[in-house]
Amino acid sequence: MRQWAAGFIILLLVLACTTEKPTKPSKIAKARNITNASLSAEITNTTSTPLTNETINASNETDEIRVRRLSDEEIEQLNRNTKEFEALRERRYGTRIDLTQVDAYNCRFKIEELEKERLRLAEEVDDLGDERTWKRHEADQAKQAYEAALASGDSFAIETTRFDYTDAENEYDEVKKEFKEAHDNYDETERTLRILKPECDRMRTDAGLRN
C-alpha cells in the first residue's frame, strides 16, 4: 500500500514537470504586438487622396523657400499666347507647337507691353513736369508774399503768408519727388527696351518668325 502511494505521488510529480505552462509574453513581444496593431489601424483608416498641384505646392513650401505662384492673369496670358502661337505654326507650317520657340513668340508681347508703358510714362513725365513748373511758380509767389509781410511788420500777415509759403513749398517738393520717380521709371523702361528688343528680334529670326 505504501509502495502504491509512493508510486502515485511520483507519477503526479512527473506529470507536473512535463506539462507546458502558459508563459507571459515578453516586453519585446508586447511592443511588437502594439506596433503591429497601431500600424494595422493606420493602414485601415488611411484613405487614398490623389495629389494635386495645390497639395504638391503646399508640401514643397517651407518657411525658408516660398514658391512664387503665377497669378490668374499671368496664366491666362501664357495660355492665350501659347494657343495663338500654336495656331500660327499650324497655318504656316502645318505642324504642332514647338515649345522651344514659345519664348520667341511671347517676347513680342513683352516688347509691346514695354513700349506701351514707355509711352504712358512719357506722358506722365510731361504732365508732372508741367505741374512741377506751376508748383514752383506758386511757391515763389508765396515766398514773395511772405517776404512782403515780414517787411510790413504785420504779425497777422506774417503768420498767414508763412503758412501759405510753407504749404506751397511742401506741395512743390511732393510733385518734384513724383516727377523724379516717373522719370527714373521711364529711363529704366527705355534701357530695358534697348536690351530686350534686339534680343527678341534675334530669337524670332532664329525661330522663323517675322519681326
Tens-digit pLDDT string for the chain (211 aa): 445 455 555 555 545 555 444 444 444 444 444 444 443 343 333 333 443 444 434 444 433 333 345 566 666 666 666 666 556 555 554 444 454 456 667 778 888 888 999 999 999 999 999 999 999 999 999 999 999 999 998 889 899 999 999 999 999 999 999 999 999 999 998 988 888 888 888 877 776 766 5
197: Cβ contacts below 8 Å, ≥ 6 apart: 111
Helix axes 102-152, 72-93, angle to 10 degrees: 140
Residue 7 within any structural domain of the chain: no
pLDDT at 168: 94
pLDDT at 110: 82
Q: Which stretches does DSSP call E strand in 60-187?
A: none
Q: What distance in Å separates the CA atoms of residue 68 and residue 32, rounded to the nearest whole number?
A: 45
Residue 17 within any structural domain of the chain: no
**At 59, which helix (H) or strand (E)?**
helix 53-60
Q: What distance in Å separates the CA atoms of residue 177 and residue 186, rounded to the nearest whole number?
A: 14
pLDDT at 194: 87
Residue 23 within any structural domain of the chain: no
**CATH code, domain with 156:** 1.10.287
Residue 157 within any structural domain of the chain: yes
Q: What distance in Å separates the CA atoms of residue 6 and residue 18, rounded to the nearest whole number?
A: 19
User: Taking the CB of residue 121, how many other CB atoms lie within 10 A of it?
Assistant: 19
Residue 144 within any structural domain of the chain: yes
Contact 196, 146 (CB under 8 A): no
Residue 60 within any structural domain of the chain: no
Residue 175 within any structural domain of the chain: yes
Residue 30 within any structural domain of the chain: no
Q: Which domain holds residue 180?
A: 69-206
Output the pTM of the full model. 0.49
Tally of domains in the chain: 1
Contact 107, 195 (CB under 8 A): no
